[in-house]
Amino acid sequence: MIYCAYRYPQKYMRNRHTLMLYDTRSRECRAFRPAGKRVSIYSCGPTLYRPQHIGNIRAYVFADTLNRALRHYGYQPKHIINLTDVGHLTDDADAGEDKIEKQAQTENSTARAITEKIAGMFFSDLEKMNISLRRYIFPRATDYIAEQIELVRALEKQGLTYDIPDGIYFNTGAYPQYGALGLSSENADDAHARIDAVEGKKSSHDFALWKRTPQGVSRQQEWDSPWGRGFPGWHAECSAMAMKLLGQTIDIHTGGADHIAVHHNNEIAQSEGATGETFAKVWMHGAFLIMEGDKMAKSVGNVYTVSDLEERGYEPLALRYLFLQSSYRTPLSFSFAALEAAQTALRRLQREYDALPHPMFPLWRKKPDNQYIEQIDVAIADNLNTAKVLAAAWDALRDTKLEPAERQKTIRYADSLLGVLSMSRKKDDEEIVPQEVTALLKKRDEARAKKAYDEADALREEIAKHGYEVFDSEKGSSVGKRR
Ligand code: AMP
Ligand code: ZN
């Protein structure tokens, strides 16, 4: 199992709730101790040429879980999800066409029209997944061309580049630290195995920083640069935008596991090569969503989008629930049977939550139960163990030792991390129970205390006539509005 067990040093044991995050670079769970309340996060975002599939969506649900966890700790995340609208080639070895330009040709449209359309779909998918757009910044690569050129110039000054007809390349031979996230065969990517894709490329690890528009070719998206007209290499945007918007050293960088071997090794080489500073203190990677044994990928063609699921009658939040049932670091095999089961469980959770009688006092006077707070806090601190947070929510829901208001508060507490429930009852929750009902309940409590059960039952009936239901728990009685 990949959750980070409490194997960390004794000194942390004093604070059992220290946030432990698995860092791909050091290959261990590390205590997250940022310098202040404001934390910076960069999550690699979509390439805007085709709608994001549910595998991609898993990467953002993971990023959103992290964001929620950080807020839960009282941090104020400044969180970027970038929009790649130029430079991502069909071939990761720096050959091939620009995915967006190619799509524009296929659709007989413009690159801008394609990226606008796909970005709109992306935002709507995020909202459907209960990922609040307000919590993120979504910079577009084409708005940061000057910063990318600046980055390449800085690398040039450090002697880390070479110039070939195709463009400016990062020279990994001049940067012995290359491969910070590992270049083991386990991580190896096809792109790293190929050197012949571009003439003049010195090593398969070298990568394009700036690509020249080939002679006789006209591109929709190209810019002037010190190296001639062209466009930035795909990796440059993430380093340039992260450093421009978040600073030279950021707290956390996330992405899908497919980015470890090439894209993130390249981001580290570019950023640290240019500044000499650590680029990201923690590197976190979400595991793949797998489809019939294969990674779900646009290029393989085995993909479903959130809209496809909706067309088949599934709620997007059922997908979120499915994702949260396992660790973000565990590859997850997608099946409609599993989605169906997640939807059934989610609907039951929502139904039972909604069915809890309304409490006698406004909800805000009640606190979540301490024992469950402990469970939830420990779970999320354990490298975002959402499965255990979910389990705690279920346990609290069915714990008759708690008053309904406490159960509701506890479930809300869990759901601030999970984001799977619909909390549309907020207004009702704050409703004050009418005085005559409160008086009747008091009389009933007195009757019960005297063991005058017939009288107590009659009072229950009386309360029911006012539209309220009595709810007895070990801690006393309360009323809720009848539904
Ligand atoms: P892309 O639009 O291909 O640049 O990918 C956007 C994000 O989705 C990146 O963080 C990828 O690492 C991630 N991703 C791509 N495919 C999958 C998959 N099958 N499962 C999980 N994450 C993925
Ligand atoms: Zn990136």
Residue 206 counted as domain residue: yes
Residue 38 counted as domain residue: yes
Is the pLDDT at 174 greater than 80? The verdict is yes
**Are the CB atoms for 419 and 393 separated by under 8 Å?**
no
Would you place residue 79 in the very low, low, confident or very high pLDDT band (cuts 50, 70, 90)? very high
Asked whether 288 lines ligand 1 (CB < 6 A), one says yes
Residue 39 counted as domain residue: yes
Would you place residue 341 in the very low, low, confident or very high pLDDT band (cuts 50, 70, 90)? very high
Is the pLDDT at 437 greater than 90? The verdict is no
* Portion of the chain with pLDDT greater than 70, in percent: 87
When mean pLDDT is compared across 69-73, 194-198, 308-312, the lowest value belongs to 194-198
Structure confidence by residue, pLDDT tens digits, 443-455: 998 998 888 888 9
Asked whether 316 lines ligand 1 (CB < 6 A), one says no
Tell me the HSE value of 225 on the side-chain side, using a 13 A CA sphere: 25
Query: How far, CA to CA in Å, does 256 sit from each of 24, 60, 140, 290, 413?
Result: 12, 9, 19, 12, 28
State pTM to two decimals.
0.84
Residue 367 counted as domain residue: no
> Which residues make Cβ contacts (< 8 Å) with residue 457, sequence separation at least 6?
none
Q: What pLDDT is attached to residue 125?
A: 96
CA 317, CA 350: separation in Å to the nearest integer? 11
Structure confidence by residue, pLDDT tens digits, 348-391: 999 999 888 765 555 455 677 788 988 999 999 999 999 999 99
Residue 323 counted as domain residue: no
Would you place residue 422 in the very low, low, confident or very high pLDDT band (cuts 50, 70, 90)? confident
Q: What pLDDT is attached to residue 128?
A: 96
Which strand ranges, in their side-by-side order, compose the sheet holding 289-291? 294-295, 289-291, 332-334
Q: What pLDDT is attached to residue 2?
A: 39
Domain with residue 227: its CATH number is: 3.40.50.620
**Are the CB atoms for 55 and 296 separated by under 8 Å?**
yes
Work out which ligand 1 atom sits closest to the CA atom of 263.
12
CA 50, CA 43: separation in Å to the nearest integer? 19
Q: Which residues pair with 30 in a beta bridge?
A: 21
Last residue of a domain, one of 257, 286, 315: 286
Q: Specify the residue with its C-alpha closest to ligand 1, atom 9.
A: 256
Last residue of a domain, one of 264, 286, 308: 286
Residue 423 counted as domain residue: no
Would you place residue 209 in the very low, low, confident or very high pLDDT band (cuts 50, 70, 90)? very high
Would you place residue 305 in the very low, low, confident or very high pLDDT band (cuts 50, 70, 90)? very high
CA torsion sign for 249, 254, 256, 260 is positive
In the chain, % helix, strand, coil (3-state, to 5) comes to: 45, 15, 40
> How many domains would you assign to the chain?
2
Q: What pLDDT is attached to residue 186?
A: 43
Last residue of a domain, one of 246, 265, 286: 286
Residue 430 counted as domain residue: no
Six token digits for residue 397: 């829901």
Asked whether 47 lines ligand 1 (CB < 6 A), one says yes
> Which residues make Cβ contacts (< 8 Å) with residue 348, sequence separation at least 6?
none
Structure confidence by residue, pLDDT tens digits, 247-292: 999 999 999 999 999 999 999 999 999 999 999 999 999 999 998 7
**Are the CB atoms for 239 and 207 separated by under 8 Å?**
no
Return the ligand number nearest the Cα of 286.
1
**Which of 56, 62, 235, 291 is the best mutation target for the ligand 1 pocket, counting ligand atoms within 8 Å of the beta carbon and taking the most?**
56
Structure confidence by residue, pLDDT tens digits, 105-156: 888 888 888 899 999 999 999 999 999 999 999 999 999 999 999 999 999 9
Q: Which domain holds residue 269?
A: 34-286
- Mean pLDDT computed over every residue of the chain: 87
